[in-house]
Structure 1
Amino acid sequence: MDCDDEPNDDRHGRAHGRGGLLRTGLRVGAGLALLAAAVGGGVIWGERRASSPAGSGRGASGDRTGEATPGRGSRGDPTPAMPGTPGAGTPAPAPPAGAEEAVEISLTPETLERAGIRIAEVTTRATAGAITVPATVTSNAYRDTKVNALVGGIVRQVMVELGAPVDRGQPLAVVFSAELADAQMKYLSLRAMLRAEEQKLHRTERLVELGAASRQELEEITAVHHARETEVAAARQRLLLLGLSADSVARLDSASQVVSEVTVPSPMSGMVVARSVNPGQVVGAGQDLFVVTDLGSVWVIADVYEKDFAAVRVGTAATITVPSAPAMALRGRVAYIDPRVEPATRTAKVRVEVPNRNGELRLGMFVTATFETASMRRITVVPRTAVQTVGERAVVYVPVEGEEARFAERPVKLGPPVGDLIQIVEGLKPGERVVTDGSFFLRAEAARSRS
């Protein structure tokens, strides 16, 4: 039988098989196309959602896409995280370092009354214009005293540390000196010779009275005696210059009383701000051992810009504030203005002399200097009692609007004090209300809520 004469049933079966394969292929192709469309649509939806404004709760079709759970589709099916889309496995950004939450304090009516809280409006005040610049605290060079070794030798003992307060006459160090011992022996020798000359003078005077000695002999012996007295006085003065006290020299009567160690005393009351000697060190006469300064008055060196030179003169009043204690202020006056200008910064050094009786200002401390000018301006002020310090921040407490016993802590930036008031540079506006009495109590409550 020929191929062309194949039975109809066989040809029909093969055709049916080829048709089934074709239909299966079409189904697979259609499925792949649908999957690609779904993936493409998901990416487009994710991109649109990422670029949509924050807070839009609905898309163009009215679906509530804003409430979708991160990492899931609109039906709650797990979907792969899309990079760059909110809520797709990306962690939330961390708050900035050092940021603290705003604290609010709620009090009961009884606590409010017991705390003695009083509230006042923030006001303004007319005051002289001001120039505010950074500055540094240094010692008053006119009150610095160098302590020298009066005699060369070996340092046996150092009795004070750097930064120690000292009183006038307080021992600072002990120096062993052979030179001192030699000077004492010479003094004793000259004193012995002087005694011998005194005895000879007295004997000659008696002989002259008896006519057994001539007047010329008496005059010669008297001249020698005066020379010995001068030598003894010079030797005594040398011992004083080498560091022996007047009492020690007066008691020196024999070789057994000779000392080879001298104490170096402080010439004034103050603080040891420099020490350049240690035990065992060999020092020479006149060598610097310590520097003692009186910190009852210090210098504040400020850098004033060229444009402000006309407003700052010798005698201009200045207010010195410390960033770590913004409510504290010290007053001083300009004592000197450097005639030279720094080429790089276009500033000149201005020296302010400031009384520092309680030691508030320390050497090397960074401070702020505010110079008063002739122009007038209005500044925002509150009572000093309204300001508290939390860490390194100055804060005030303001009543929450509509709630009688609730207060919010607010950071502020301070200017210089004005009598019992203090300037608010930033953080409060005139007309706002602020706690003036009882702010310390609120600070304690705020600290408790943070812990």
Structure 2
Amino acid sequence: MTRNIECHRYLPLMFLAMLALAILACSAPGDADIQSGLATASLDDHSGHNHAPGEHGKVVNATADVQDWCAEHRVPESECTQCNPQLIVQFKASGDWCDGHSVPESHCRLCNPGIVFEQESTLHQAELDFSDDEIEISLFFRPNSGICATDGALIQFASAETAERSGITVTRTIASERKAIIEAPAEIVFDETREIVVTSSVSALVARWLIAAGDEVSAGDPMAMLQSPEMAHLEASLLSAQADYRVSEQEFARHESMREKELISAADFERQLALTEQTRADFNSAQGLLLSAGMSRIDVDELLSSKNISSQFTLRAPSDGLVVERIAQLGQLLDAGSAFAMIADPSSMWIEAKLTEQQLSHVTVGQSLTFASDGRGLDRVGGQIIWVSRFLDPHSRTGTVRAEVIDSQHGLQASGFGRVSIGIPDGSDVVLVPKGAVQWEGCCNVVFVKESIDRYRPRKIRFGAGAGPYYQVTSGLKPGEDVVVGGSFLLKTELKKTSLGTGCCGLEPTS
């Protein structure tokens, strides 16, 4: 039993050794790689276009050096006629040319869909090995596959009129500086410089609320009816000061007339002038005390004209804004200076993000950021950093970065949570492409580049994090190229029409 177990352990190794010997035995000297064939004479018997589509073998012999690989066109770099047009003459001379698709017959995947180069197999196996060793998680940016049928495709509409009716719109790509993205959790808060605490300078209780939290108020709008024993005393003091001031003014007028007739001395006139100024100051002081208690100028003027003293008065809004909170309860007696309510400006909001110590070192005042709310999908709001914390929280070891929301029509809610993205330039160049132009076609991220009004070429791209409404493309696009934004999904369906049925476009290889 032990001997049988030992034999079974070595069976896989024996099978692999036999398989390797079989492959070596099947390899013939005439099956040299395409590169050496171009340097001497013609290619093997399967070269040319003298056979039916699909008669090529599953693997085309080529150098297994993965460095000799054109990922864009999926052929060995040393044989790529699109990157090296001078090779076309050699392929045609050897009879290895597909006139229908303007590529070497040994490279034509439409005529010979079974073509697989050794570099392809090696790269594919490397991807599998990497996937076994490490699981890469990406929520938004899926990596392009090294083996993809998108390379060399071209979408040709039946006519220019058909292309126009499809509603396709294009935009031009923009050159920009690449930015590394810092992401951090953040919260929306009201602008503290525009928050107002509504108070009274006298002790009072709320007899009746006239507003509710969430109401918008204007300066002078009534907010609550308050009662205060001190208010009656202040109102009486105002009326008394008013009476003293009026008497003093009349007395000053008589002294002024007598002074002109030289009936009184200058000293008597000056004493009366000082007394008049004193009564005027007392009168203004009494008005100020009532205004600080919560009465408006209209309320004070009405009191001066009606002379009706009451312990009840109206608490009015000191400015325009949104009532964030009603702090005082009905019937609750609050001390002087206590908060009755809170008013904030909803058009001015702050974004407060929590960054690590390392992230803080890359952030400065004046930088831009974008905020994505947890409850608003992919919608983003722009902001500008106005303050960077100089200290860290002792518990979380994070510092606060505060930014002002740029758009006053943001529609954000205070205390809303989300994430901020801060772009840090790193000096390299990228191409900005609208996010709506990028499509995932099953194995690659692609955009569709306009070549003419009825011709669009899918282009594999690699990109990093977004910068506002754009992605930062690191390879696959050049600045100034026209890419499809509106209608890009339609072109993707045409690219994948083999599984969806034939559409109005034609799919052709690179010419």
What TM-score comes out, normalization by structure 1 length? 0.54
Please say if 1:268 is aligned against 2:316.
no
Aligned counterpart for 1:336 among listed residues 376, 379, 388: 388
Tell whether the 8 Å contact from 2:216 to 2:321 is kept in structure 1 after alignment: yes
Number of the residue aligned with 1:416: 466
Tell whether the 8 Å contact from 1:185 to 1:255 is kept in structure 2 after alignment: no
Number of the residue aligned with 2:505: none
SS in 1 for 2:387: strand
- Per-residue CA deviations over 1:223-244 (Å, capped at 9, x if unaligned) read 6555434433332332333333
**What is the rounded CA distance, in whole Å, between the counterparts of 1:348 and 1:192 in structure 2?**
59
Please say if 1:313 is aligned against 2:361.
no
Q: Equivalent residues in 2 for 1:317-328 (5 A)?
A: 317-323=368-374, 324-328=376-380
Shift of 1:357: 0.5
Shift of 1:383: 2.6
**What is the rounded CA distance, in whole Å, between the counterparts of 2:410 and 2:211 in structure 1?**
20
Number of the residue aligned with 1:351: 402
Shift of 1:435: 7.0
Shift of 1:126: 5.6
List runs of 5+ in structure 1 lacking aligned partners: 1-108, 389-395, 400-412, 443-451
Tell whether the 8 Å contact from 1:327 to 1:387 is kept in structure 2 after alignment: no
The one-letter amino acid paired with 1:352 is A
Alpha carbons of structure 1 residues 371 and 201: separation in structure 2 relative to 1, 3 Å: closer
**What is the rounded CA distance, in whole Å, between the counterparts of 1:175 and 1:274 in structure 2?**
17
Aligned counterpart for 1:277 among listed residues 323, 328, 331: 328
**What is the rounded CA distance, in whole Å, between the counterparts of 1:123 and 1:206 in structure 2?**
83
Shift of 1:276: 0.5
**What is the rounded CA distance, in whole Å, between the counterparts of 1:381 and 1:250 in structure 2?**
63
Number of the residue aligned with 1:246: 297
Aligned counterpart for 2:179 among listed residues 128, 131, 141: 128
**What is the rounded CA distance, in whole Å, between the counterparts of 1:119 and 1:202 in structure 2?**
83
**What is the rounded CA distance, in whole Å, between the counterparts of 2:252 and 2:345 in structure 1?**
53
- Per-residue CA deviations over 1:327-351 (Å, capped at 9, x if unaligned) read 433132252223225455x433222
**What is the rounded CA distance, in whole Å, between the counterparts of 1:314 and 1:209 in structure 2?**
67
**What is the rounded CA distance, in whole Å, between the counterparts of 1:118 and 1:204 in structure 2?**
87
Worse overlay, 200-209 or 319-328: 200-209
Q: Percent identity?
A: 27
List runs of 5+ in structure 2 lacking aligned partners: 1-158, 440-444, 449-462, 492-511
**What is the rounded CA distance, in whole Å, between the counterparts of 1:416 and 1:436 in structure 2?**
16
Alpha carbons of structure 1 residues 287 and 118: separation in structure 2 relative to 1, 3 Å: same
Q: Equivalent residues in 2 for 1:83-98 (5 A)?
A: none
Alpha carbons of structure 1 residues 158 and 430: separation in structure 2 relative to 1, 3 Å: farther
**What is the rounded CA distance, in whole Å, between the counterparts of 2:256 and 2:176 in structure 1?**
91
Number of the residue aligned with 2:486: 437
- Per-residue CA deviations over 1:387-424 (Å, capped at 9, x if unaligned) read 89xxxxxxx9999xxxxxxxxxxxxx994344xx5338
Number of the residue aligned with 2:206: 155
**What is the rounded CA distance, in whole Å, between the counterparts of 2:430 and 2:486 in structure 1?**
21
Number of the residue aligned with 1:360: 411
Alpha carbons of structure 1 residues 342 and 117: separation in structure 2 relative to 1, 3 Å: farther
Larger Rg: 1
What's the C-alpha RMSD, in Å, of the aligned pairs?
Answer: 5.0
Tell whether the 8 Å contact from 1:175 to 1:264 is kept in structure 2 after alignment: yes
Alpha carbons of structure 1 residues 154 and 383: separation in structure 2 relative to 1, 3 Å: same
Number of the residue aligned with 2:343: 292
Aligned counterpart for 1:258 among listed residues 288, 309, 322: 309
Tell whether the 8 Å contact from 2:188 to 2:415 is kept in structure 1 after alignment: yes
**What is the rounded CA distance, in whole Å, between the counterparts of 2:369 and 2:338 in structure 1?**
39
SS in 2 for 1:258: coil
Alpha carbons of structure 1 residues 301 and 216: separation in structure 2 relative to 1, 3 Å: closer
SS in 2 for 1:308: helix
**What is the rounded CA distance, in whole Å, between the counterparts of 1:185 and 1:153 in structure 2?**
17
